[in-house]
Structures are given as structure tokens and as C-alpha cells.
Structure 1
Amino acid sequence: MTEYATTSQGDRVAYDLHGSGPAVVFVTGAGPDRADDPVTAETAERVADAGLTALTFDRLGRGESPAEGRLDLDRELAAVAAMIEVAGSPAVLVGHSSGCSVSLRAADAGLPVAGLALWEAPLGGPAVKAQAWADEIERLLDAGDHENAMRHYMKDMPPEWLAGMEASPAWPLIARTVAAYRADAQSLAWAQHALEDGTLDVTVPVLAMYGAETFPEMPVAAASIVVAVPNGTEKEMPGAMHSWEPEPMAAQLTELARRCAG
């Protein structure tokens, strides 16, 4: 059953809580909410069955966590902090896609994070390019041009993904969801700068994972994260098309959470 918590910035966040034990909080990337993310839901249930507390939530501006105004990274971090408090501090954060950079920023900012499990962080290339990409998304959002903001956000993704969205009669409504991606863009630009400048300050255990069938840049990104932290591990896992398989992922998360809990 959906429950709610209010962040330090006044946003109301919807979440599901399962199990009891060391805490694991799932931080999704751009796009999904709990209603259309069965893979994360199944993984959370398996983690809970293994003796952990598992929390999934709708990020700001998505699903049952409606939010207005400028949905920036600071507001998103306040939501993550509220979810850690609900699940039990400190918590292992499980980042997926741009949720990886949000999770990295949470740990770097000093939130009570016990460890990080990062699945296919979309990082790579010069930081200046990532910053220019994020700046253009923010410019388009500030101008109210949601359709072009969505197109720009997805410009380096497989073109058929965007084509499918644009072919939908609901495209104008779909495009408006990009307002919730500002935090993702900001976190990705920040993470690329931190990796390039050597300023990433994350000392907790970090497990950087990617699927056995994935895009060639994902293993490269995982390796770049691992070399930037003092306690990092890179691992190939069963998975394809930017998604993992719930059973082996749950086993890996359970092992990491128990190790982080001592």
C-alpha cells in the first residue's frame, strides 16, 4: 500500500516499504515510476524476503509524487534523504541509469548512505560536453519547450526510443514529464565533472554493475567510477537493454547491504 512522507523542502513523496532489516532504497532514473517498473518492484520484494528493508518511491514529478516548480537536484536529494529516514539510516542506495548520479551526489553530499549499488550509470565523454547538454535542457525547460527538451534529453539514446514516444497520440503529455528530468541532467553533469576532476568524495563501498548484453559505454562508465573511489568493485551481471534480472540482482544487493551493515 502506498505511503507518503514529506521532505525538508515540503514535497510529498509516495513510497512502498517492504520487509525488515538493513535498508535498501531504490533510486530510479529518468522516466519510470513504481506503476510501470515491475523489475524494480520484484527486486525489492526479493530483497525484503531475504531479510532486508526495501523501499521504492516515485521520484518528484512522477507517479504519485506530483510536484510543481523547478524540480532541481537539491529538491531530489531532499526526497532521497526523506526516503532514507523512512527505510532506516544509513541505507544502501540502488541507482539505476541517471539514478546512479543522483545516488553518487547523495553520498558525496554527506547523506547517511551505507553503500552504493549502481546499475549502468550513463557517464562518459568530456565533462564540458555533459555540462552543455544539461544547460541546454535547463534552457528549454525554463522556456517551457517541453517537446524539444525531451528530444534533447534523449539525443544520445537509441533513436527508436524517442520515435516510439513521438508516435504516440499522448506525445504532448509524455513530453511534459521531462520537467522532472532537470535533477537527472544536473546530477549527470555534476558526476562527469567530479570523475574528470578527481573531486568525487565517496568513501562507502560502491558496486558498479552492468548487464551482460548492454551498450559498449556502460562497462567503461563502471570502470571510471570504480577507479575514482577507494572502495569500488565492478561487476557484469545478467541483464539486457539497460535492465537487470531480479533474482541475481536481489542476491547481489542482499550481500552488499549485509556487508555494509557489518
Structure 2
Amino acid sequence: MDKQIISPDGTPLAYGRAGAGPAVVLVSGAMSTGGTLAPLAKRLADRFTAVVYDRRGRGASGDTPPYAVAREVEDLAALIEAVGGEAALYGVSSGGALALEAAASGLPVRQVAVYEPPFAQPGGEKERTEYTERLTEALARGRRGDAVELFLRLTGLAEQMIQGARQSPMWADMETIAPTLAYDDAMLGGGVLPRERIAAIGVPVLAVAGGASPDWLRTSAAEVAEAAPRGTFRTLEDQTHMVDPDVLAPVLAEFFAG
């Protein structure tokens, strides 16, 4: 990330850009930074200006409390202005929810593509409410490691793998951005698909899911496409939530070129 902008509330945001052509802004999901999407950006840079950025509270970007989803939409608006005044958006997981909200808010967006936005997670409203309450408590008490564990359990990761992750070198970095788990939780609105907001998106929407991902993630993506007036759903065979950039990039390039 070699560039910086200042969001309207004064938060510095780090970003990087590569390639030439129409701008495509890539929006990362939970427990990740813009660097997570750098491999995908590299594969899009031969046809587009591919832009990655650290969402507020992550990586080299700053943070300004109190948090609100609207502030992240303003962040994207400032970034789009900095890279030409119009852009297509791609968001993965909870970053997809942010991309959809940005488009519904009327930002100058040409198209929106999302990969497995995690609405309608198994367990229903009760489990999501309990997760939010326990996450809020853990972060309030400074127990960042516990907050990360809560999130990993929510994703369905096995307990043995969670404990293994806690002993790994990456754990410290995960704890560093743990407070942003509350941001992603707010972005997903309790896991309820925002049908009315998606219905307000007038530009083409592509919702993608992996054929090897859990059924509920494919269902969530399909419902996003169904709710969007100009929505399309596509499944990538053999792909999981950790989608291969070499498989995804041609699909996105075709959509954004259209």
C-alpha cells in the first residue's frame, strides 16, 4: 500500500493500485487486509486499474470511533473519487455486504460482484445474537484472542484447528485486527439478507459461490442475485470460500468488461 487518502471523518486509508483501464475496487472480508486480495488484483491488472485498500482499523489504515457502517461507505466513496470518480466493486464475504451497501447508497458504481456474502448463516437469529453479545463483551474486556476464537467457531472451524491457529505465528496479527470483527458483524446486520437495499441497486450485480462451499453460502449468494433487479448468480465448480484467484479472475474480468 503506497498511497493514502483521508476519509471525510479524518481517517487515513492506505491503498494501492495496479494496471490501467476502468477502475475496479476490491473489498476484503473479515480478518483480512487489502493485501489479501493482492493476488486477485494482479490478475485483473492487465485489463483494469485494480485497487486494493485496507479497510478502517486494518493494516496501514487508521480508525476513528465510533464505528458506523455509513463511515465505511464514505471510505469507499472517497477511494472511488481518488481513482477516477467511478468504479466497479468486488467484495468477498463481509466485504461483499459492504460493496452491496455502497451501491445501494448511490455511489458512482458501474457493477458489483460479490463472492459468498455470509447472510443467513446456520443457527438463525438466536445464534447470531449470542455471537454479537459475546463478541462485544470479549472486545470490551480486551480479550482479543477470545474474540478471534468466537469468530472462527462461527465460521464452523473445528476446535482442534482453532487451538492450532492460536499457537501459530499468524495469531498475533489476527488479534491486532480483532476489533474489526465488530465492524463486520454490524455490516451483516445480524445475518439477515437486506433484500430492500439490494433491490435498490440499479447496476448489474454478479453473485458468485463455490461449488464445494457449504450449501448455506451458495444459497446466500443465490438470494443476493435474486434480490437484485439486474442480478446474476454463478457457481464455480470445486471452489470453496478460499477461492482460487486464477479461477475467479476470468469470471470477474468478463463481468466487469460487459
Residues 19-47 of structure 1: CA distance to partner in whole angstroms, max 9, x if unpaired? 22221100000112244x2xx22321221
1:230-255 deviation per Cα after TM superposition (whole angstroms, max 9, x unaligned):
11111112563412222342222222
| Match of residue 134 from structure 1 | 132
Are 1:103 and 2:102 an aligned pair?
no
Contact 1:127 1:189 in 2 (8 A): no
Residues 26-37 of structure 1: pairs in structure 2 closer than 5 A: 26-35=26-35, 37=36
Secondary structure at the aligned position of 2:4 is classed as strand
Distance in 2 (alpha carbons) for counterparts of 1:199 and 1:173: 33
Q: What SS does the aligned partner of 1:116 have?
A: strand
Q: 2:251 corresponds to which residue?
A: 252
Change in 2 beyond 3 A, CA 1:63/1:55: same
Higher relative contact order (CA 8 A, sep 6+): 1
Secondary structure of residue in 2 paired with 1:123: coil
1:243 — aligned with what?
242
Partner of 2:146: 148
C-alpha RMSD of matched pairs (Å): 2.5
Question: Which of 81, 88, 94 is matched with 1:92 structurally?
Answer: 88
Match of 1:204 in 2: 203
Please point out which of 34, 55, 61 is paired with 1:59.
55
- Name the CA distance, whole Å, in 2 between partners of 1:122 and 1:112: 25
* Alignment partners' CA distance in 1, 2:149 and 2:110: 36
Cα offsets for 1:193-244 (capped at 9, x unmatched)? 523xx45322221111112322222211111111211111111125634122
Distance 2:238 2:75 in 1: 28
In the alignment, structure 2 segments of 5+ residues that lack a partner are none
Amino acid corresponding to residue 109 of structure 1 in structure 2: S
Tell me which residue corresponds to 2:40. Answer: 43
The yes-or-no answer on 1:166 pairing with 2:166 is yes
1:18–1:199 Cα change, 3 Å: closer
| TM score, norm. by length of structure 1 | 0.84
Distance 1:163 1:241, change over 3 A: farther
Amino acid paired to 1:41: A
The secondary structure found in structure 1 opposite 2:154 is coil
One-letter identity of the residue aligned with 2:232: T
CA 1:190–1:20: 2 relative to 1, 3 Å: farther
Q: Is the 8 A contact 2:201 2:228 kept in 1?
A: yes
SS at match of 1:49: coil
CA distance in structure 1 between the partners assigned to 2:56 and 2:88 by the alignment: 20
* 3-state SS of paired residue (1:99): helix
Instruction: Output the CA distance in 1 between the equivalents of 2:62 and 2:23.
Output: 25
| Percent of aligned pairs sharing the same letter | 30
Gaps of 5+ in 1: none
TM-score, normalised to structure 2, is 0.86
Structure 1 residues 199 and 53: CA distance shift in structure 2, 3 A: closer
> Could you give the per-residue CA deviations for residues 85-144 of structure 1, whole angstroms, max 9, x where no partner exists?
222332111111111111111112222222211111111154565455335433433343
Secondary structure in structure 1 of the residue aligned to 2:13: strand
What code does the residue aligned with 2:148 have? M
Task: Give, in angstroms, the shift of residue 63 of structure 1.
Answer: 1.5
1:254 counterpart SS class: helix
Q: CA separation in 2, counterparts of 1:20 and 1:245?
A: 23
